[in-house]
Amino acid sequence: MKSTAILALLAAAGIAGSAAGAERPRFAIDTEAVYDPAAVAPYAGHHPEVYAHVDASIEAHVAALQRWMRQPSISAQDVGIDEMAEMLRSDLEAIGFQETALVPTDGHPGVWGYYDAGAERTLLVYMMYDVQPVNPEDWDSPPFEANLVDHELGRVIMARGATNQKGPQRAFLNAIESIVAVHGRLPVNLMVAAEGEEELGSPHYPQIVDAYEDRMRTADGVLFPMSVQAPDGRTTMLLGVKGILYFEMESRGGDWGGPQRSEIHGSYKAIVDAPALRLIQAIASLTSPDGNTILVPGYYDGIRPPTEEEQMLINGAARSRNEEMLKNAIGVARFIDDLSGRDALVETLYMPTLNVDGIWSGYTGEGVKTILPHVATAKVDSRLPMGLDPDEALAKIRAHLDANGFEDIVIRKLSGYPPAQTSVDAALTQAVIGVYNKYSKGLSIQPRIAGSAPFYQFTDRLGLPLVPAGLGHGRGAHAPNEIYLVEPGPGVPVAGLAEIEKAYVDLLYALAGK
């Protein structure tokens, strides 16, 4: 279509908004070697007295989960936050944490706990005690009654926070309670550093780290209790997350032109600039016409390609990937450029994105209304792989807009944090794999996921490996009828609450090398 000479000229002329020559890097997978988690020896330890204690206490353990879930703790609405923070703190104290405290922040308080086992190894446990809001009328069982309900998978607790994240977290505490009850002390030292603002994007978690940074650095790794089993029993391990930059772009009439006070009659467009068109042009300048390649100069430059370890993990993850199931689940007929297999996986995990989460301006009702709106706004996010920092990304976007004459477009940053990555070779990761191999039917390891979480506080700031881990199954996070499976029905090959807790028992001993 376009000759190379023209493309060269275009590049030389720096044509604004042209897609000419813009391409996403394609990272090659140089190896056919596959990381095989099955090659990690299953955890060989056995702690029958503790397991027996778990089994004997299971009614009380279920009740402990229900007690947490019956305490609302909706961070967005400040409902029950202080009560839940205190419940967590006093639970830690009751278990035997010598040190517990509420941690003041500029938002909801954190909770700190330290259990000194006099052990060599120390595990830092990240927890969140807040939950999403609810529409009670959408629920089959009231969201804060935490009733036991019969489900196709078995006996479940239905409650807001059931799986996200009270169930797995309290299951972890049940496990250590049984260890302490049987053996008097834990095999590792524990730090708990919990927040009440995860559902708000963790805006003040850095302040919690500030308060205990030196001590946190001495930990050997970070566990985020999470149930990661699918209904067929398979487990998935996530070793990394993308970072995110989230901002609003706005065009508003001003000295540059456009109506400043309010919308005006649409016929004035002939001689009056349109903020809506300016915003549309500014956003359009950021991507290729298909919306899939970012045209901001240098945006792809620093991205770290998959390491050899990650390539082996990708080769493994590609084997267990079911693309048709994924397409069906999200209602998508085809992926961009008809990507599939490893290519789709590398694109998903290693490319930064530019996405419009929302845009609004002017008249959005039925029929015809002819106005020239004075303001137009969009919400935009960019998911960031390793090698692209949010502040750097924002600076590049700003520079691109300015260079293309869009100085009048206002950017308001709402959130931003870098990606996080943990190595499969970390002692914590290996211990978790060993425990999974003891209990579950098959483990797939994702070198990272396309979503974001502020785990960089641990991986980058503290230099610690972080693994979200735990057996069991829950679903319905952020939705009505959230559940946590406590007693799987016949033939459902998923861990119930007792097995979830036994696996956490094993994990602590595995970390201690026992």
Question: Least separation, in Å, of the C-beta of 434 and a copy of itself?
Answer: 30
Separation between Cα atoms, residue 380 and residue 247, nearest integer Å: 5
Is the separation of the CB atoms in 125 and 226 below 8 Å? no
Question: Least separation, in Å, of the C-beta of 376 and a copy of itself?
Answer: 7
Question: Least separation, in Å, of the C-beta of 243 and a copy of itself?
Answer: 11
Question: Least separation, in Å, of the C-beta of 408 and a copy of itself?
Answer: 10
Q: How many CB atoms lie within 10 A of CB 372?
A: 22
Residue 198 DSSP class: G
Question: Which region, left, alpha or beta, applies to residue 478 given φ > 0 means left and ψ of -120 to 50 means alpha?
Answer: left
Question: Least separation, in Å, of the C-beta of 245 and a copy of itself?
Answer: 11
Nearer to a copy of itself, 175 or 372 (CB): 372
Is the separation of the CB atoms in 141 and 474 below 8 Å? no
Amino acid of residue 102? L
Nearer to a copy of itself, 239 or 372 (CB): 372
Separation between Cα atoms, residue 306 and residue 25, nearest integer Å: 12
Nearer to a copy of itself, 68 or 246 (CB): 246
Q: Which residues touch 395 (CB under 8 Å, ≥6 apart)?
A: none
Separation between Cα atoms, residue 481 and residue 159, nearest integer Å: 7
From the list 390, 458, 393, the residue with the least C-alpha distance to 418 is 390
Question: Least separation, in Å, of the C-beta of 200 and a copy of itself?
Answer: 8
Separation between Cα atoms, residue 381 and residue 41, nearest integer Å: 41
Question: Least separation, in Å, of the C-beta of 296 and a copy of itself?
Answer: 14
Nearer to a copy of itself, 6 or 60 (CB): 6
Question: Least separation, in Å, of the C-beta of 283 and a copy of itself?
Answer: 5
* Residue 489, both tokens: 């029905």
Taken as a whole, the chain contains a residue count of: 514
Distances in Å between the alpha carbon of 308 and those of 27, 87, 319, 460, 503? 12, 45, 17, 20, 30
Question: Least separation, in Å, of the C-beta of 230 and a copy of itself?
Answer: 18
Nearer to a copy of itself, 201 or 233 (CB): 201
CA 410 to chain centre: 28
Separation between Cα atoms, residue 468 and residue 226, nearest integer Å: 6
Question: Least separation, in Å, of the C-beta of 310 and a copy of itself?
Answer: 16
From the list 467, 352, 481, 374, the residue with the least C-alpha distance to 421 is 467
Separation between Cα atoms, residue 331 and residue 27, nearest integer Å: 27
The SS3 call for residue 16 is coil
